[in-house]
């Protein structure tokens, strides 16, 4: 309807001019044609408003669906994907590339459809008025088409290159801001600024190169379109002079040529949107095409209502990639439900890798891990993850309140359960020391908390989950010894009937465990209770003696300082 009203205006102008020049116009005629033209223009404005609203609204819905689909897909990708994909690049794709996709589906689709309809209808009416003049007016069209074909592929490649560089720029900014403490501590502000300036300059150069290429496209298109108008004016003027065409017909023809010229001029804009949108869509599909973690591919079909916590490793060997060395070798271990297993060993022995296989953060070989005598892959994935409370070495806290960070482990927890988890983690005094207490905003990655406070917050988050299995991966490394002892004493009651796996570099943390294993080079080389392992006088014994000697030296140092 919008284009129909627009097409009616030149035709009404033709009738009005021919009527007036023929001398047959009346007072009513003088009012009729302006009123009809005004009506057509008004209807065109109204329908164009609804048309644009619909198309742009549709593109927004598509953007929303695609962004949600990509985010949901990201939640299910394996950890290995994020180890080689930069966060800044992903952020750029979810923001800048999504904008390019939306513009292609919105303005690009609308301009394309308008161009097709307007060109088709204008050409048809031009042919009706004068077929030969129409043919002459189309002479510049092959030149515009050839220019589009030559420029299109080059522009697409440059847009893709620009978007990749923008991802690099975004990644650098994200890493710089996340590590601003390190930057300032090492006085690297000027170096970082210089490096950022270099990236920005390169981004500017790439954009200016694209602008230059567009610079010759628009003038040439305008020249060819103007050439068509000149040809029509010259030939059409001769026809009017020879009285083989009326002035009204020439005016209408010229009006339709103008309508034809706009789509031809808009081709460059549409090419820009489609090339940029196509490059963005390709980058977005790179994310969607990435295979999800194996745990989501085989989420488990076993009917398990509740897990009790018996854990069994059967000759488990594991490597992170087919061509990578073995991290774990021949691990065979049974942890009865409701017992506590301590894991100690040298750095890099595979302790963290071992426990990361339980919640399927990495995928173990089939038939090597069982919980309650059910093979890990057969357990429903959500049932498995809800059954495990994990405090990892690398503590991550969200830029939110203390309350929300802890409740992340169990959004439906009551205030009593929140207080209990905080008390067990010995976090209550720290929270009471903040002005806003539970409502204190922690900042990015919990920047307002000390290392020990971060670990205790993460511990509270795991405890409030109330899971039958608790995994503490070096969860007390930043906590002082006295606080650690109070936490472990408090946990005795809470852990009754639950299975716990505690990894620590401190022997004192695992001394009370029902069984302790010592890992070395991915193998279990010693196992037993604290007393049994000491009696072996092996790796565990030597580690215990070193730590005991260190504590005695620290105590002597403290006493000497106190006497001075």
In a domain, residue 556? The reply is no
Number of neighbouring beta carbons within 10 Å of residue 518: 24
Measured in whole angstroms, how far is the alpha carbon of residue 103 from the centre of its chain? 19
In a domain, residue 111? The reply is yes
* Pairwise CA distance, residues 469 & 312, whole Å: 13
Q: Domain total for the chain?
A: 2
**Which one, of 392, 395, 393, lies nearest residue 446 by Cα?**
395
* Pairwise CA distance, residues 150 & 179, whole Å: 45
Q: For residues 87 and 145, state if they share a domain.
A: yes
* Pairwise CA distance, residues 428 & 437, whole Å: 9
What are the tens digits of pLDDT across the range 94-122?
Answer: 877 888 887 777 777 677 777 777 777 77
* Structure confidence at residue 362 (pLDDT): 84
In a domain, residue 555? The reply is no
Half-sphere exposure of 564 (CA within 13 A, CB side): 6
Q: For residues 375 and 507, state if they share a domain.
A: yes
* Pairwise CA distance, residues 231 & 136, whole Å: 7
Q: CB within 8 A of 152, min separation 6: which ones?
A: 271, 275
Number of neighbouring beta carbons within 10 Å of residue 418: 18
Q: For residues 261 and 314, state if they share a domain.
A: no
How many percent of the chain have pLDDT more than 70? Answer: 77
In a domain, residue 558? The reply is no
Sign for the CA dihedral angle at 301, 304, 309, 315 comes to negative
Helical H segments across 242-298, by residue range: 247-288, 294-297
- For residue 375, the domain's CATH number is 3.40.50.300
- The domain boundary, picked from 288, 323, 339, lies at 288
The continuous run of DSSP H or E covering 344 comes out as strand 340-345
Residue length, the chain?
564
Q: Is the pLDDT of residue 165 over 60?
A: yes
In a domain, residue 279? The reply is yes
Q: What angle do CA 526, 531, 535 make, to 5 degrees?
A: 65
Angstrom CA distances, 347 to 63, 474, 512, stand at 46, 11, 22
Q: For residues 313 and 220, state if they share a domain.
A: no
* Structure confidence at residue 462 (pLDDT): 86
Helical H segments across 75-108, by residue range: 79-84, 87-92, 98-103
- For residue 187, the domain's CATH number is 1.20.1560.10
What are the tens digits of pLDDT across the range 326-366?
Answer: 889 998 999 999 888 999 988 888 888 898 888 888 888 88
Give yes or no for a contact between 343 and 333, defined as CB atoms under 8 angstroms apart. no
What are the tens digits of pLDDT across the range 234-276?
Answer: 777 777 777 777 777 777 777 777 777 666 666 666 777 777 7
Q: Say which residue, 516 or 13, is predicted with more confidence.
A: 516
What are residue 406's DSSP bridge partners?
none
Largest separation between any pair of C-alpha atoms in the chain: 123
For the question of whether the overall pTM of this predicted structure is more than 0.85, the answer is no
Helical H segments across 442-480, by residue range: 451-463
Q: Is the pLDDT of residue 559 over 60?
A: no
Q: Is the pLDDT of residue 379 over 80?
A: yes
Q: CB within 8 A of 309, min separation 6: which ones?
A: 337, 338, 371, 372, 387, 468, 469, 498, 499
Read off the tokens for 414: 């009551």
In a domain, residue 560? The reply is no
Give yes or no for a contact between 510 and 344, defined as CB atoms under 8 angstroms apart. yes
Exposure b/e, 343-366, CB count within 10 A at least 16 = b = bbbeeebbbbbbbbbbbbbbbbee
Q: For residues 131 and 265, state if they share a domain.
A: yes
Read off the tokens for 155: 């522009």
pLDDT band (50, 70, 90) for residue 399: confident
* Pairwise CA distance, residues 395 & 389, whole Å: 14
Q: For residues 196 and 329, state if they share a domain.
A: no
What are residue 335's DSSP bridge partners?
311
In a domain, residue 552? The reply is no
The helix/strand/coil state of 191 is helix
In a domain, residue 543? The reply is no
Q: For residues 99 and 211, state if they share a domain.
A: yes
Q: What is the DSSP string of 356-389?
A: HTTTTSSPPPTTSEEETTEEGGGS-HHHHHHTEE
Q: For residues 76 and 26, state if they share a domain.
A: yes
Q: Is the pLDDT of residue 144 over 80?
A: no
What are the tens digits of pLDDT across the range 422-444?
Answer: 888 888 888 888 777 887 877 77
What are the tens digits of pLDDT across the range 470-515?
Answer: 888 888 777 777 787 888 888 888 888 888 898 888 888 888 888 9
Give yes or no for a contact between 196 and 151, defined as CB atoms under 8 angstroms apart. no
* Structure confidence at residue 266 (pLDDT): 65
What are the tens digits of pLDDT across the range 507-524?
Answer: 888 888 889 999 898 898
pLDDT band (50, 70, 90) for residue 377: confident
Domain interval for residue 124: 2-288
Number of neighbouring beta carbons within 10 Å of residue 476: 24
Read off the tokens for 548: 């005991």
The continuous run of DSSP H or E covering 526 comes out as strand 523-528
pLDDT band (50, 70, 90) for residue 382: confident
Q: For residues 434 and 516, state if they share a domain.
A: yes
Mean pLDDT, the chain, rounded, equals 77
Number of neighbouring beta carbons within 10 Å of residue 436: 11
- The domain boundary, picked from 288, 323, 349, lies at 288
Q: For residues 100 and 178, state if they share a domain.
A: yes
Q: How far apart are the first and last CA of the chain?
A: 95
Q: What are residue 520's phi and psi, to 5 degrees?
A: -145, 120
What are residue 470's DSSP bridge partners?
389, 500
Q: For residues 124 and 43, state if they share a domain.
A: yes
* Structure confidence at residue 552 (pLDDT): 66
Tokens 């869509």 belong to which residue? 281
Q: For residues 276 and 324, state if they share a domain.
A: no
């Amino acid at each position: 309807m919008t284009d129909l009203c627009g097409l009616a205006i030149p035709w009404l102008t033709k009738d009005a001019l021919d009527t007036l020049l023929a001398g047959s116009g009346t007072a009513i005629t003088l009012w009729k044609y302006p009123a009809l033209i005004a009506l057509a223009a008004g209807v065109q404005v109204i329908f164009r408003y609804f048309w644009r609203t619909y198309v742009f609204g549709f593109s927004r819905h598509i953007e929303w669906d695609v962004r949600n689909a990509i985010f949901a897909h990201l939640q299910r990708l394996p950890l290995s994907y994020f180890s080689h994909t930069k966060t800044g690049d992903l952020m750029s794709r979810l923001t800048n590339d999504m904008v390019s996709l939306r513009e292609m589906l919105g303005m690009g689709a609308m301009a394309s459809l308008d161009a097709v309809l307007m060109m088709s209808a204008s050409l048809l009416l031009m042919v009706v008025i004068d077929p030969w003049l129409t043919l002459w007016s189309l002479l510049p069209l092959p030149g515009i088409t050839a220019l589009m074909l030559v420029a299109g592929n080059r522009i697409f490649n440059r847009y893709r290159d620009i978007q990749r560089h923008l991802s690099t720029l975004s990644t650098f900014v994200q890493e710089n801001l996340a590590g601003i403490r390190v930057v300032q501590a090492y006085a690297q502000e000027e170096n970082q600024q210089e490096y950022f300036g270099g990236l920005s300059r390169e981004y500017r150069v790439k954009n200016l190169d694209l602008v230059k290429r567009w610079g010759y496209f628009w003038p040439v298109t305008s020249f060819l379109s103007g050439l068509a108008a000149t040809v029509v004016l010259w030939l059409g003027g001769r026809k009017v002079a020879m009285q083989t065409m009326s002035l009204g017909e020439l005016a209408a023809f010229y009006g339709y040529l103008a309508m034809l010229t706009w789509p031809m001029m808009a081709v460059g804009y549409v090419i820009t949107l489609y090339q940029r949108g196509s490059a963005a869509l390709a980058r977005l599909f790179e994310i969607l095409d990435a295979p999800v973690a194996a745990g989501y591919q085989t989420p488990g079909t076993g009917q398990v209502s509740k897990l009790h916590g018996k854990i069994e490793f059967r000759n488990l060997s594991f490597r992170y990639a087919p061509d990578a060395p073995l991290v774990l070798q021949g691990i065979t271990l049974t942890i009865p439900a409701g017992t506590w297993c301590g894991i100690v060993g040298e750095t890099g022995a595979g302790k963290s890798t071992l426990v990361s296989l339980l919640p399927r953060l990495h995928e173990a070989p089939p038939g090597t891990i069982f919980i309650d005598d059910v093979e890990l892959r057969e357990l429903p994935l959500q049932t498995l993850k809800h059954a495990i409370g994990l405090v990892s070495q690398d503590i991550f806290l969200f830029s939110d309140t203390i309350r929300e960070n802890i409740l992340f482990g169990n959004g439906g927890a009551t205030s009593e359960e929140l207080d209990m988890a905080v008390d067990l983690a010995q976090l209550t005094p720290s929270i009471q020391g903040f002005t806003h207490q539970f409502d204190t905003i922690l900042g990015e990655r919990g920047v307002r908390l000390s290392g020990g406070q971060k670990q205790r917050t993460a511990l509270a988050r795991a405890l409030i989950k109330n899971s039958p299995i608790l995994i503490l991966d070096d969860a007390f490394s930043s906590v002082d010894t006295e606080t650690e002892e109070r936490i472990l004493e408090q946990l005795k009651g809470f852990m009754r009937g639950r299975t716990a796996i505690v990894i620590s570099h401190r022997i004192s943390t695992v001394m009370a465990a029902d069984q302790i294993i010592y890992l070395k080079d991915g193998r279990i080389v010693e196992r037993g209770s604290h007393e049994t392992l000491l009696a072996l006088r092996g790796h565990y014994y030597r580690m215990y003696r070193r730590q005991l000697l260190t504590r005695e030296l620290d105590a002597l140092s403290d006493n000497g300082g106190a006497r001075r």
